[in-house]
Chains A and B, each alone.
Chain A
Amino acid sequence: MLSVQGVHKSFGSIRAVRGVSFEVRPGQVVGLLGPNGAGKTTTIRMITGFLPPDDGRVMIGDLDVSRDSARARAKIGYLPESAPHYPEMKVREFIAHRAALFGVARQGRERAVGEAMERCQLGAVASRRVGVLSKGFKQRVGLAAAIVHGPSVLVLDEPTNGLDPTQVREARSLIKDLAKDRTLLFSSHVLSEVERVCDRVVMIAGGELRADGTPGDLVEKTSLTPVHVIECARTPDPLPILRKVEGVADAKLEALADEGWVRVRITPRAGHRDLREALAAAARGAGLAVRELSIDRPSLERLFAELIERPGAVGVGGGA
């Protein structure tokens, strides 16, 4: 299990990370989400032992990454952002070098390298120099190098950054596959990616933890209200009709290209999450023709934007 306990890190007067705490249980895939400069990479560097925290601690199982650093680091597989590599080395050679650094015994090394390469589908480029490969393949080489010693915790920093859409799809599928038998933490600022790959999301911004939970839970627990969208006839005037419905806080009209039709966005009052039936009944009673009625539920994207722009405005609790 990976446990981050109240870590702080400052660089001079800049407080990059402020008291971030979260846990990742075995077998969980957790996305560390935040905008650029949020403190994701600094947090990851403290987890992997590259930087020591000023305060707090990081535990890998029962090992403190700062105090029992080498043993803790041996349990982590790490792919830094941009997958740094030695361009002059051949793919197999590079992965074998990483295996040797992580103490994979000589007799089992060949097999471990072969398995990591097979898992990351690198067979076709085994004898090519890493420096001449495409970005997608370099990323795979980095992933193979990160898993070659069989780590129980895998940490990936922006693993799909700079990849084209096809490569992103392949990388996501590979990450899901790698997550089957280990704890996986990966950072990203791409929300759709986190939603697709992760069991849980940890959001940080300004160096602080802002939210922690499953993507569904976060959206469900959020105090952001679901917006109701109605496409209806322009006449009779829909605003007075819809504003009369109990629970409606506000209604705004949007023009549509279709002649005679408008879109109304309705914000419910707190505690009124689903007004569809009441709105439909009111429209029917007033003879207002409705061609579409839907709820625009708060998305992870909306939640994320609120958390970044107005910290504390969104009531989402933490918890593994």
Chain B
Amino acid sequence: MRGTLTIARRELASFFAIPLGWVAIALYLFLTGGVFSLMILNPSTAATMRPFFSVSAWLMLPVIPAISMRLFSEEFRSGTIEPLLTSPVSEAAIAVGKYLGALWFMLLMLAPTLAHVGVLAWVSTPAPDAGPIVAGYASLVLLGMLYLSIGLFISSLTSNQTLAFLGTLFAILLLLLATTLGADRLPEAMRPLVYAAALTPRIADFAKGVIDTSHIVFFASCSAWFVLLTIVTLQSRRWS
């Protein structure tokens, strides 16, 4: 898809050209740094990154919508969507490019936390088990991919960034709550479907160090589904 990487590169650069990108990274690193110092670098506990991964998963709830809220909303608000949609690139290239740009930014936000792993390995004897750490990072990346795709889709529905932020936050919360607390109140026949869509058991598996291919397929296909919905939304805006 021509133009995808061009759009992704611009999107990534834009995060670092405005305060939002730096603030998101700084807050995330500050909070995860606090968790690492207070809960992980503790001589009386086992050498594990588990608290970091569980706190990080919760931190993604506000951080990812903050990253995704401007992806399309800002283009609609400023009118730049018009030159973008009249350039010879497809709606798919635009949506995927923006998604990739936001994903790269999220990976760059996670990358400095690898220093925590290095410090833990350096000060711990025996060294921490690599399996749960790799699985933990995989869970963060997959969860981030899904949240970003939801945020991308919601930002394609509105020109208001605040609405895009709140919409994404509530959509993710709804997904988390409906598949946990709400599942027990549903009719017996519907429960397997809801349990299959639940995120928390899958994240719990990753936390144990289990990298299940079905979980990877689940997160990847759900993310692809929301990116596809974004493409359809862009096309319908053009044809409406």
Contact = CB atoms under 8 A, between A and B. Distances in A.
Interface of A: 45, 48-52, 69-71, 73-74, 76, 78, 80, 82, 84-89, 97-98, 100-103, 145
Given A50-B238, A70-B88, 8 more contacts: A48-B86, A49-B85, A70-B89, A80-B79, A80-B83, A84-B80, A100-B6, A102-B88
Contact of B79 (A71, A84, A88, A102): A84
B33 interface: no
B3 interface: yes
Given A50-B238, A103-B2, A98 B87 contact: yes
Contacts of B84: 101
B70 to A, nearest CB: 11
Contact of B86 (A73, A82, A85, A89): A73
A143 B18 CA distance: 25
Contacts of A45: 82
B58 interface: no
Contacts of A82: 79
28 contacts: A48-B86, A49-B86, A50-B82, A50-B86, A52-B238, A73-B88, A76-B86, A78-B86, A80-B79, A80-B82, A80-B83, A84-B79, A84-B80, A84-B82, A85-B78, A85-B80, A86-B10, A86-B14, A86-B78, A88-B17, A89-B10, A98-B87, A100-B6, A101-B84, A101-B87, A101-B88, A103-B88, A145-B83
B180 interface: no
A49 B18 CA distance: 31
B83 A52 contact: no
B188 to A, nearest CB: 45
B160 interface: no
B6 A78 contact: no
Nearest to B17: A88
A135 to B, nearest CB: 14
Interface in B93-151: none
B43 to A, nearest CB: 46
B233 interface: no
A199 to B, nearest CB: 25
Contacts of B2: 103
Contacts of B3: 100-101, 103
A56 to B, nearest CB: 16
B22 to A, nearest CB: 12
The B contact surface, by secondary structure, is helix
A87 B75 CA distance: 12
B159 interface: no
A87 B7 CA distance: 16
A82 B82 CA distance: 11
Contacts of B89: 70, 101
B86 A97 contact: no
Interface string B222-240: 0000000000000000110
Contacts of B14: 86, 88-89
Interface residues of B, number: 23
A78 B83 contact: yes
Contacts of A145: 83
Given A84-B79, A97-B6, A89 B88 contact: no
B90 interface: yes
Contacts of B239: 52
Nearest to A157: B82
B177 to A, nearest CB: 36
B224 to A, nearest CB: 23
Contacts of A71: 88
Contacts of B87: 73, 98, 101-102
The winner among B6, B84, B239 for most chain A CB atoms within 10 A is: B6
A98 B83 contact: yes
The 10 tightest CB contacts between A and B, nearest first, are A84-B79, A88-B17, A74-B88, A70-B88, A100-B6, A101-B87, A84-B80, A48-B86, A73-B88, A80-B82
A48 B87 CA distance: 9
Contacts of B82: 45, 50, 78, 80, 84
A281 B87 CA distance: 65
A70 B88 CA distance: 4
Interface in B1-59: 2-3, 6-7, 10, 13-14, 17-18
Nearest to A74: B88
Given A70-B90, A102-B87, A51 B78 contact: no
Contacts of B6: 97, 100-101
A50 B239 CA distance: 9
A103 B1 CA distance: 12
Contacts of B83: 78, 80, 84, 98, 145
Nearest to B79: A84
A45 B79 CA distance: 13
A84 B89 CA distance: 18
